[in-house]
A = this chain, B = another copy of it.
């Protein structure tokens, strides 16, 4: 039951799990899947019959644009449920892809639905998770719509670092981040060339180190100030109880 721990971890930050809720989560059947980088999990138009929890690694959702380009709409880190919306929407309207090597816990729709039916508070918490993802989409619209290349990249770095820290996958402003500059360009709507130059500028200012699948932010205050980063939109639980 590999999904158990990740879900218990995530949900116990949102509310106090009752014993029977906890037991139901532990009883949830799931299947461990390991993926190498750049493997497709869903393709736009698919009708998945299962959902998955990211246990480790990075996942993104993206769409191919008419002109052959690609827009990444969001990243998902450990504990996230990138495709939980398929439980209610059926067909998925975008690709879901493993960015680097990943571990996933796959749960059948039927099992997840049964869990939600039997435990309304768990259903509510999962609903809430999808709402937070929506909030992140809104911030991306702001970021892409109105901010300059430099600020846009800085903001993305701040977001990813914050989210990874929240799930214990970053410490001291250092994290593994298996993104290429191509990925960054697809996520920010910039050209790869311009991403390259903007990253150099961020490095020159001593704000970040990025490369080889690793991001460090030596000057967190400077970067957040540049990026106008306010983490409110991530609705991070105040770690009610960091241990299960």
Give the B-binding residues of A (Cβ under 8 A): 61, 63, 65-67, 69, 71, 73-74, 85, 88-89, 91, 93-94, 116-117, 120, 123-124, 127-128, 130-135, 137-138, 140-142, 144-147, 188-189, 228, 232-233, 235
Which of chain B's residues have a CB closer than 8 A to the CB of A228? 65-66
Given A130-B131, A146-B71, A138:B85 Cβ within 8 A: no
What CA separation (Å) do A89 and B117 show in the bound complex? 21
Q: How far is the CA of A142 from the CA of B188 in the complex (A)?
A: 10
Could you tell me if B88 and A124 are in contact, using CB atoms closer than 8 angstroms?
yes
Do residues A65 and B137 form an inter-chain contact, with CB atoms below 8 A? Answer: no
Contact between chains at B137 and A93 (CB < 8 Å): no
Q: Measured between C-beta atoms, what is the minimum distance from A104 to chain B in Å?
A: 20
Contact B138–A88 (Cβ < 8 Å): no
Give me 26 A-to-B residue pairs in the complex whose CB atoms sit less than 8 angstroms apart, sorted by A's number.
Answer: A67-B146, A69-B146, A73-B138, A85-B131, A89-B131, A89-B132, A89-B135, A89-B235, A91-B232, A93-B135, A93-B138, A93-B235, A94-B138, A116-B120, A117-B120, A120-B120, A123-B123, A123-B127, A130-B130, A130-B134, A133-B134, A137-B140, A137-B141, A141-B141, A141-B144, A146-B189
Q: Which of B89, B134, B146 is in CB contact (< 8 Å) with A137?
A: B134
